[in-house]
A and B are shown apart, each in its own frame.
Chain A
């Protein structure tokens, strides 16, 4: 336990972030704890992991109960869009990392370009998803569709339900991530985020990498079953 104690001993003089002056008036200094900010962000990421974790629980449950159903249903999904989306998200993680490297070197314009690129990749992901989903819906492959209800055994129907729910929730997180990064870009422009203070960008990066991470697991579970 002592290593952990030492780790968190790297903190600062916190309780005295204020003081009482000669006239007994209270004055408060600016309080900054970047490590704490990052730690808090990680704790928040854990909640996201468990949120999706619950869906993985459901996936695991149904998959073991209907292995053929899952196999057959998965045949309707195309690997290509899935694989391309994986590459898109991995690359967006790269540009996100590059944005941070840039701000560490004080290059704010370059940083914003990389942030913009990250958002652009996000858009590309969304567009792909849109085409993928609308194609499926066109083929009458969505929860509650006639085709699923009448022609497919239960296991296959559940596969599609899980597919839409999990990739849908993931897409929602992609959108949120893009919005967050947009705000970060504004802060970079106003130099609220700069070479000496960029924890917000790092935290946004952590969120974005998590979105990538979740997809890294979703991809094989849905697209590579057959």
Chain B
């Protein structure tokens, strides 16, 4: 079947359809969720690349002791900018903004999201936030007053440092609002736009993960919003003292308010990655995900329990014993549903008919790398060991393993997996596999030494270090070249494939059973050319002993 006809009807892909506007405006003023997803992809790719280049610079500086390339002050600005860009402009919008926007409606049989215009507004806010961030950086460079507080902008320092924090904080505020609107949209869409016959428990787990994520986006983000407002108020008006102890305030309150959002935010980052994992593992094992309902509920549990652990970022800040015990306990509790997921994924692989295509290789990497990330969280969650490890490189290693071992691989895997649907092209298998291997090596070489360094006492956000850490920094820097090289390799591969790749003739090259694979590649406007009919669950693969297991 040709990719742009069903039956006797010819259909125009969403790229080619005639819209009210022409050229660039047909993108910037679109309400098509697919175009919005792709715009996010391009913009995010730019920000991710910038963040990576800053990381490259940081690791180059840290290659040897003392000042080499940049001064201490500029190093602080570098890790601040790296964090702000990576967190607010890349990983939090992340998978939901790109793959979620593109595929959530399709996976549930809908023509678009519940509020397409608000969806566009989300993207515009994202652009606005990005421009404000860019503006503040340019201003900071020219006046030598870049923000140097770390992305966590702890008060009162963030109000007392010479930097003009108002603009970057405003940027974060708008970016938060963008995230909130996406969350509202996805929640309503899942509740209201499911096709006939698609109950909640017939949705793919990717949709479930986006749904759970949306809950966090809606409930947690406003808290950082108000925190930003309070910091701005205290920064702008001399008399206000909420976080500044000299004016009657309390810096620990800032930490509470900040982490009440920023901890759930890491679940915003990771849950969609879990969703991608489930969809890919199922497809490439040709099996129903082991324990579908448990997977769905564990996703919701992580979202819920995630609100009860925030102060594990504050164990050394002087909280009461009761608080520290409570938060440590719940931190261990939230690891349980996460562990359950890992076990269920492995159980799905067991006796599955495994196809080792590039998305699957990345998933296997993920299972290994993310497990390290998760396990290294345990000494951080325990009060006694955290005393020694807090604010050391151990923490840096832990969260980079989780993000670069967990989230980014699944973002890439999701791109590789859904590439044929979005662009009707398939990335070269050999190149992809090679890049996966390079990526795997890069992550381990860059971040494993950090656990050792941190354990030995190397503090994070430090510009200089003692000789005993030298070897580890060299390993990490060399690793960063491999890692960043592989990521740029993927980006180049994607761009190349879109422009020069061979057009496919199969709308379902992976043989997957979720709804997005029943429509043409690329999809037409409003996705479904005929009313979709639900004849099976998302993972109802026939017994793998059936050789022709494609649907």
Q: Which residues of A contact B (CB under 8 A)?
A: 1, 4-5, 8, 11, 13-18, 20, 24, 26, 28, 33, 35-36, 39-40, 43-44, 46-48, 50-55, 57-58, 61-62, 65, 142-145, 148-149, 153-155, 157-158, 161-162, 165, 169
**Complex interface: chain B residues within 8 A of A50 (CB):** 219-223
Given contacts A14-B111, A50-B223, A54-B257, A5 and B200 within 8 Å (CB-CB): yes
Is there contact, CB below 8 Å, between B230 and A143? no
Given contacts A36-B191, A161-B240, A61 and B256 within 8 Å (CB-CB): yes
CA distance A143 to B244 in the complex (A): 13
- 20 additional A-B residue pairs with CB within 8 Å, beyond A39-B191, A50-B221: A1-B200, A1-B201, A8-B192, A14-B111, A15-B195, A15-B527, A28-B526, A36-B114, A39-B187, A40-B185, A40-B188, A47-B218, A50-B220, A54-B227, A58-B242, A58-B257, A61-B250, A61-B253, A144-B238, A149-B239
Is there contact, CB below 8 Å, between B218 and A54? no
**Complex interface: chain A residues within 8 A of B484 (CB):** none
CA distance A109 to B250 in the complex (A): 53
What are 14 pairs between A and B in contact, CB < 8 Å?
A15-B193, A15-B531, A20-B9, A24-B11, A33-B192, A40-B184, A43-B183, A43-B187, A47-B219, A57-B256, A58-B242, A144-B238, A157-B247, A161-B241
Is there contact, CB below 8 Å, between B239 and A145? yes
Tell me which of B188, B201, B226, B239 contacts A55 (CB under 8 A).
B226
Is there contact, CB below 8 Å, between B111 and A13? no
234-267 of chain B: CB within 8 A of chain A:
237-242, 247-250, 253, 256-257, 260
B70 within 8 A of A: no
B382 within 8 A of A: no
Q: Which residues of B contact A (CB under 8 A)?
A: 9-12, 17, 109-111, 114-115, 180, 183-185, 187-188, 191-196, 199-201, 218-223, 225-227, 229-230, 233, 237-242, 247-250, 253, 256-257, 260, 524-529, 531-532
Min CB gap A95→B, angstroms: 28
CA distance A57 to B528 in the complex (A): 47
CA distance A158 to B241 in the complex (A): 7
Given contacts A58-B257, A144-B237, A149-B239, A14 and B110 within 8 Å (CB-CB): yes
Is there contact, CB below 8 Å, between A8 and B241? no
Considering only CB atoms, which chain A residue lies closest to B190 in the complex? A8
CA distance A143 to B234 in the complex (A): 10
CA distance A61 to B183 in the complex (A): 29
Considering only CB atoms, which chain A residue lies closest to B261 in the complex? A54
Considering only CB atoms, which chain A residue lies closest to B10 in the complex? A24
Is there contact, CB below 8 Å, between B239 and A39? no
**Complex interface: chain A residues within 8 A of B201 (CB):** 1
Given contacts A11-B192, A15-B528, A48 and B222 within 8 Å (CB-CB): yes
**Complex interface: chain B residues within 8 A of A51 (CB):** 222-223, 225-226
Is there contact, CB below 8 Å, between B526 and A18? yes
**Complex interface: chain B residues within 8 A of A55 (CB):** 226
**Complex interface: chain B residues within 8 A of A5 (CB):** 199-200
Is there contact, CB below 8 Å, between B221 and A47? yes
**Complex interface: chain B residues within 8 A of A43 (CB):** 183-184, 187-188, 218
5 A-B pairs closest in CB distance: A144-B239, A154-B248, A54-B226, A36-B192, A50-B222
CA distance A105 to B223 in the complex (A): 40
CA distance A88 to B176 in the complex (A): 33
**Complex interface: chain B residues within 8 A of A24 (CB):** 9-11
Is there contact, CB below 8 Å, between A15 and B253? no
**Complex interface: chain B residues within 8 A of A62 (CB):** 250, 253
Given contacts A20-B9, A61-B253, A157-B241, A36 and B223 within 8 Å (CB-CB): no
Considering only CB atoms, which chain A residue lies closest to B221 in the complex? A47
Given contacts A5-B200, A24-B9, A51-B226, A46 and B219 within 8 Å (CB-CB): yes
Min CB gap A170→B, angstroms: 12
Min CB gap B304→A, angstroms: 15
**Complex interface: chain A residues within 8 A of B248 (CB):** 153-155, 157-158, 161
